């Protein structure tokens, strides 16, 4: 790909913030107000006047309109408003990419990526939200009892375990790593709720091969990230963190209906990861810390393999619990607790954490982390990912 | 089949043909206990899920044909946590993803007939079991799968 058309180093992630995170139904404030709180927190973190915001980007059909945010915040002018198509939480890194593209192209100068999601106020992702009559593609699976995301993705994980000999203990290690990291994170909904192997093993099945702790949470909250041109980063109050690369998409016929995508047991990162590394100018071995979107643990295993951190053959050994935790593991993942144990903020909390790792302000800091990778939404199309880095990586 | 109990309880979301007609031949076929999927009249390639164009050759001349050859279990899941009120007394149940290697490798979703806690051997041959819902409005037929 043309280096002239690369986003590498052109945009900084200047501020990150969130509302308080709550159990589903626990938020005292409306979803839109949570969004406002996150946006103001991110601006405060950056040292930017909120009236400087001139663009918004989000994903997964966030129900909070950017025009309403612009009006509520009294923004002088809105210059960019953007939504990633489809893929649910798979759009998180893509929203950062779109915001960065707008800045690089000159459409806007200060773009906020946000996600506000109060599942206690609106619909629960984990329920079967289908009408009494279903038509179209879903008519070919809903009547057979596939209605929730866990049910939509379980068969991919069954196939992963069958094709590649991935052990149940590997799924367990992914879950335990998130819960382990949440114990050092006062923001985490599961702070004070550690998870040991026996508790995982004894937890109830949701849908085989997923137990309760293989599944993401349902929460209330909001998160936001402020992006500015790279040259401005030094004038702001945080250690600069730069976008090194980001990609979107999926492989051949990933969107084929009724589970007919030819490569079934995939997180949809096989074509994205090489593009990401080429754009960022790094190798998997250069990555210091990984935030890998956990809708379900099986997807994390696929994503880590497809991003080159281990092979199918080595996964059961490489993805052992001790190796997945900060600060001493060789492949620390989901160091805030992520979707499983910090808060299901649809993966934007993972991007917030990736930035904090480069700054050294993570609740579970990886020593001298300079290159920080996020993969958003395994097993969906579009999937997206990104790499951020410190000044030293430019 | 209409006298047999359905695998999952009544009261779940019911399938109806897509209003634009894309999958109507499938739903009409299963009412006759025929399993039709898309097959391109130009290149004879198989295609599922249904689409308006052949992804092999980009012809709009898409026809329908009965699947050929064996159906095999490609993957499965066993649901224990009900997410619809109508399923609260109906767990566990097993969902199969079935593949037709001789019909272009197309896949279909259905439930496993019999004990929902039975072993599910990936690769095993299964046979379709048409589950008629004659009392529904409009009536429809689901395609379930039993081990051969």
Asked whether residue B129 falls in the same domain as residue B57, the answer is no
Chain A residues within 8 Å of chain B (Cβ atoms) = 126-128, 130-137, 139-148, 150-151, 154-156, 158-159, 162, 204-209, 253, 256-260, 262, 264
Domain span holding position A351: 3-122+215-393
For B49, nearest residue in chain A (alpha carbons): A257
For A209, nearest residue in chain B (alpha carbons): B77
**What is the C-alpha to C-alpha distance for residues A78 and B130, in angstroms, rounded to an integer?**
56
Which residue of A137, A144, A147 is the best one to mutate when testing the B interface, meaning the one whose CB has the most B CBs within 10 A?
A144
> Would you say residue A27 lies in a domain?
yes
> Would you say residue A261 lies in a domain?
yes
Asked whether residue B75 falls in the same domain as residue B146, the answer is yes
**What is the C-alpha to C-alpha distance for residues A103 and A231, in angstroms, rounded to an integer?**
12
Could you tell me if B77 and A208 are in contact, meaning their C-beta atoms sit under 8 angstroms apart? yes
Could you tell me if A375 and A245 are in contact, meaning their C-beta atoms sit under 8 angstroms apart? no
In angstroms, what CA-CA distances link A183 with A186, A191, B22? Answer: 7, 5, 51
Asked whether residue B73 falls in the same domain as residue B146, the answer is yes
Query: A166 to chain B nearest CA, in Å?
Result: 15
Residue A190 CB partners (closer than 8 Å, separation 6+): A179, A182, A217, A337, A340, A341, A342
> What is residue A152's three-state secondary structure?
helix
> Would you say residue B6 lies in a domain?
no
Give the end of a domain, one of B40, B66, B92. Answer: B66
Domain span holding position B80: 69-148
Asked whether residue B44 falls in the same domain as residue B33, the answer is yes
> Would you say residue B101 lies in a domain?
yes
Asked whether residue B78 falls in the same domain as residue B57, the answer is no
Residue B12 CB partners (closer than 8 Å, separation 6+): A142, A143, A145, B84, B86, B87
Position A3 scores a pLDDT of 57
Pairwise CB contact (< 8 Å): A154 & B105: no
Asked whether residue B84 falls in the same domain as residue B147, the answer is yes
> Would you say residue B3 lies in a domain?
no
Asked whether residue B27 falls in the same domain as residue B85, the answer is no
Q: Using CB atoms, pick whichever of B8, B15, B80 lies closest to residue A134.
A: B15
Number of domains forming the structure of chain A = 1
Q: Which residues of B touch A127 (CB under 8 A)?
A: 83-84
> Would you say residue A304 lies in a domain?
yes
Position B1 scores a pLDDT of 40
> Would you say residue B9 lies in a domain?
no
Q: How far is CA A86 from the centre of its chain?
A: 14
For B30, nearest residue in chain A (alpha carbons): A140
Query: B22 to chain A nearest CA, in Å?
Result: 8
- What digits encode the pLDDT tens for the residues B14-41? 999 999 999 999 999 999 999 999 999 9
Q: What is the pTM of this model?
A: 0.97
In angstroms, what CA-CA distances link B122 with A68, A123, B38, B111? Answer: 51, 35, 25, 14
Position A127 scores a pLDDT of 84
Asked whether residue B61 falls in the same domain as residue B94, the answer is no
The first and second tokens of residue B51, run together, are: 């689409």
Mean pLDDT by 10 residues, chain A (394 residues): 81 98 96 98 98 98 96 98 92 98 98 96 86 96 97 98 98 98 98 98 98 96 98 96 97 97 98 98 98 98 98 98 98 98 97 98 98 96 96 97
Residue B13 DSSP label = P
User: A–B: how many Cβ contacts below 8 A?
Assistant: 132
User: Please, which residues bridge with residue A220 across strands?
Assistant: A22, A118
Q: Which residues of B touch A134 (CB under 8 A)?
A: 13-16
Pairwise CB contact (< 8 Å): A145 & B93: yes
Position A129 scores a pLDDT of 84
> Would you say residue A340 lies in a domain?
yes
> Would you say residue A338 lies in a domain?
yes
> Would you say residue B7 lies in a domain?
no
Q: Using CB atoms, pick whichever of A134, A137, A144 lies closest to residue B49.
A: A137
Binning pLDDT at 50, 70 and 90, where does residue B3 land?
Answer: very low
Asked whether residue B82 falls in the same domain as residue B62, the answer is no
The first and second tokens of residue A25, run together, are: 């139904």
> Would you say residue A147 lies in a domain?
no
Position B126 scores a pLDDT of 98
- Residue A261 maps to which CATH number? 3.40.47.10
The first and second tokens of residue B144, run together, are: 């379930």
Asked whether residue B79 falls in the same domain as residue B146, the answer is yes
3-state helix, strand, coil in chain B (%, to 5): 5, 35, 55
Pairwise CB contact (< 8 Å): A205 & B80: yes
- What digits encode the pLDDT tens for the residues B89-111? 999 999 999 999 999 999 999 99
DSSP string, A330-386: SS-B-TT-HHHHT--STTHHHHHHHHHHHHT--SSPPTT--EEEEEE-TTSSSEEEE
Number of domains forming the structure of chain B = 2
Closest to B129 in 3D by CA, of B82, B76, B71, B86: B71
- Would residue A312 show up in a list of annotated catalytic residues for this protein? no
Residue B116 CB partners (closer than 8 Å, separation 6+): B78, B92, B93, B94
> Would you say residue B1 lies in a domain?
no
- Would residue A344 show up in a list of annotated catalytic residues for this protein? yes
End-to-end CA distance of chain B: 18
């Amino acid at each position: 790909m043309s280096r002239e058309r690369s986003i590498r180093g052109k945009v900084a992630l200047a501020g990150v913030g969130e509302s308080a995170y709550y159990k589903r139904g626990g938020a005292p404030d409306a979803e839109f107000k949570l969004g406002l709180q996150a946006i103001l927190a991110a601006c405060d973190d950056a040292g930017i006047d909120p009236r400087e915001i001139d663009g918004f980007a989000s994903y997964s059909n966030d129900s909070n309109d950017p025009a309403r945010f612009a009006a509520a915040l009294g923004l002088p002018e809105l210059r960019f408003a953007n939504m990633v198509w489809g893929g649910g939480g798979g759009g998180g890194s893509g929203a950062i990419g779109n915001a960065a593209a707008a800045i690089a192209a000159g459409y806007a100068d200060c773009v906020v990526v946000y996600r506000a999601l109060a599942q206690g106020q609106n619909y629960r992702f984990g329920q079967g939200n289908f009408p009494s009559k279903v038509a179209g593609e879903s008519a070919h699976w809903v009547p057979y009892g596939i209605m929730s995301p866990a049910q939509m993705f379980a068969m991919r994980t069954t196939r992963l375990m069958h094709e590649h000999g991935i052990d149940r203990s590997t799924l367990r290690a992914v879950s335990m790593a998130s819960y382990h990291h949440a114990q050092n994170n006062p923001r985490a909904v599961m702070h004070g709720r550690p998870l040991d192997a026996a508790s995982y093993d004894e937890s109830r099945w949701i849908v085989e091969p997923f137990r309760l702790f293989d599944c993401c949470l349902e929460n209330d909250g909001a998160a936001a990230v402020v992006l500015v041109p790279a040259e401005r980063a030094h004038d702001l109050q945080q250690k600069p963190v730069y976008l090194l690369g980001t990609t979107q998409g999926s492989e051949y016929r990933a969107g084929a209906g009724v589970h007919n995508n030819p490569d079934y047991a995939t997180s949809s990162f096989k074509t994205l990861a090489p593009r990401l590394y080429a754009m960022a100018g790094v190798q998997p071995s250069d990555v210091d810390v990984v935030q890998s979107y956990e809708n379900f643990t099986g997807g994390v295993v696929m994503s880590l393999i497809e991003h080159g951190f281990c092979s199918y053959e080595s996964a059961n050994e490489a993805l052992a619990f001790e190796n997945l935790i900060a600060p001493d593991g060789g492949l620390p993942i989901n160091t805030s607790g992520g979707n499983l144990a910090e808060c299901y903020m649809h993966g934007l909390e993972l991007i917030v954490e990736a930035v904090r790792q480069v700054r050294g302000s993570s609740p579970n800091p990886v020593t001298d982390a300079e290159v920080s990778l996020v993969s958003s939404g395994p097993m969906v199309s579009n999937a997206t990912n990104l790499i951020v880095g410190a000044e030293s990586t430019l | 089949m209409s006298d047999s109990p359905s695998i999952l309880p009544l009261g779940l979301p019911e399938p109806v043909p897509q209003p634009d007609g894309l999958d109507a031949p499938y739903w009409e076929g299963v009412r006759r206990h025929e399993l039709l999927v898309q097959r391109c009249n130009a290149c004879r390639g198989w295609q599922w899920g249904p689409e308006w164009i052949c992804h092999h050759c980009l012809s709009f001349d898409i026809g329908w044909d009965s699947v050929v050859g064996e159906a095999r279990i490609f993957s499965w899941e066993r649901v224990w946590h009900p997410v619809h009120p109508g399923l609260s007394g109906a767990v566990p149940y097993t969902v199969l993803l079935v593949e037709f290697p001789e019909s272009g490798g197309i896949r279909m979703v259905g439930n496993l007939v019999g004990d929902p806690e039975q072993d599910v051997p990936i690769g095993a041959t299964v046979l379709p079991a048409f589950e008629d819902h004659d009392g529904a409005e409009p009536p429809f037929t689901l395609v379930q799968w039993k081990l051969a």
